Amino acid sequence: MATAIRMRRVGRTHKPYYRIVVIDSRDRRSGTEVDVIGVYQPCARPNPVVDVDAFKALGWLRKGAQPSDTARNLFSKLGIMKHYHDGTTPEAPEAPVASVPDAAPEATAESTAVPEA
């Protein structure tokens, strides 16, 4: 199946919101999507929001999906196209470490010594 990475417009009038989707390239513009790999909100304040799953995007690019011009520009700004051309993968985000409050400091021999009277 020939696939393309396109942007599907959703949202309301004058408030566009785009889903970055993988779709059969022979399908119509708003046809059935194979996979949703991200979102783009150009009207978000104070800055536009781009949220793309880099691992999914790279996987589809390596399978032969052709990005549209706009999707390619977004991928370039995010560094996904550089990873694709270099054949590398982005580093996995580190899992947040749960911080445990420090317990009472352990008693040492010096602090537990009883003063002599």
Asked whether residue 60 is assigned to any structural domain, the reply reads yes
Of the candidates 64, 109, 113, the one whose C-alpha atom is nearest the C-alpha of residue 84 is 64
Q: What is the Cα–Cα distance from 39 to 70, expressed in whole angstroms?
A: 13
Give the model confidence (pLDDT) of 83-114 as tens digits. 999 888 887 665 454 544 555 555 555 556 66
Question: 68 pLDDT exceeds 90?
Answer: yes
Asked whether residue 16 is assigned to any structural domain, the reply reads yes
Instruction: Give the model's pLDDT for residue 87.
Output: 84
> CB of 75 within 8 A of CB of 58?
no
Q: What is the CATH number of the domain that holds 46?
A: 3.30.1320.10
Element (H, E) at 76: helix 69-78
What three-state secondary structure class fits 41? strand
The total domain count for the chain is 1
More confident residue, 112 or 76: 76
Structural domain boundaries, residue 33 = 3-86
Give the model confidence (pLDDT) of 31-59 as tens digits. 788 899 999 999 988 999 999 999 999 99
Instruction: Give the model's pLDDT for residue 99.
Output: 46
> CB of 75 within 8 A of CB of 81?
yes
Q: What is the Cα–Cα distance from 17 to 40, expressed in whole angstroms?
A: 6
Q: CA quadruple 62, 65, 66, 72: dihedral positive or negative?
A: negative
* Across 20-35, average pLDDT: 84
